[in-house]
Structure 1
Amino acid sequence: MTNRRGSRPGPGEREIDDSELMDVAQGPEQAHSLHKALRTLADNPNASGPLQEMAQGILSGRMGMTDAIKSERYMDALGDRMTEIRRAAESQTMEDREAEREKREQWERKRDEEEQKERAEHDGPSTNLVTGPKKRGRGGHRG
């Protein structure tokens, strides 16, 4: 599969598709969301270290999602990150919270627009529809 963003997967590697996350997802929509979250994590320069390594490993198919969930190293890193997020939220002022809320709403609108566009591209008609026999040669009608 072609890489849409970032540097993963490496040369000669492919990126998994949504169906390869169905062993941990509760349906195609959740698998798609998980895939997008892993891609975001893998491409995020602020997520360096074990979490980014985990996302890149799963996306390249070198590691399964269930293996990552069972890994103490990755789950500890996830727990540490969640603790950082909680501490940051606790220390926010009302102005900070309002600014974050506005950012989040803007991000959600953008995400919804992107998802609608993806669905339209996926569900929409193909631009390569064949409507009749292929014409051969340059000339007009054979008779």
Structure 2
Amino acid sequence: MIKSVIKRDGRVVLFDEGKIAAAVLKALEAAGEGDAREAARVANKVTRHLEVDCGEESPQIEQIQDAVETGLMECGHDEAAKKYILYRANRTRIREANTSLMKTIDEITNVDARISDMKRDNANIDGNTAMGSMLQIGTAGAKAYN
């Protein structure tokens, strides 16, 4: 029986099959392929699959999401699986963009302009001043957004 899950940041939280059912339901609704009862059935199948694969070990979020994809396909919900896969890919892209942006902001905020090429992008801005840093952060945010 699965008791806990390892989150992406390493935290360990209690396992909740209801969260799997909720994610499956969203995918089923997006594809127009099922209801809450079907979502619960798929979630139960996913949980059983994880128990076999992980044994006494706590699964990681990625393992659970992979099992959800497989469970959806095994239950004949190919369109819902496709929607779920696309949603996962989009969330991964957003997470990576946020991480990159945060690293950029950290460099702009904490590194001297004589060391950071990023802070010397525009010769008209003194990267060591508060206004220079704010302009650089705005530029970095706009690049990440666009």
Fold conserved (TM > 0.5)?
Answer: no
Task: Say which structure is richer in helix.
Answer: 2
Task: Say which structure is richer in strand.
Answer: 2
Q: Which has the higher contact order (CA 8 A, sep 6+)?
A: 2
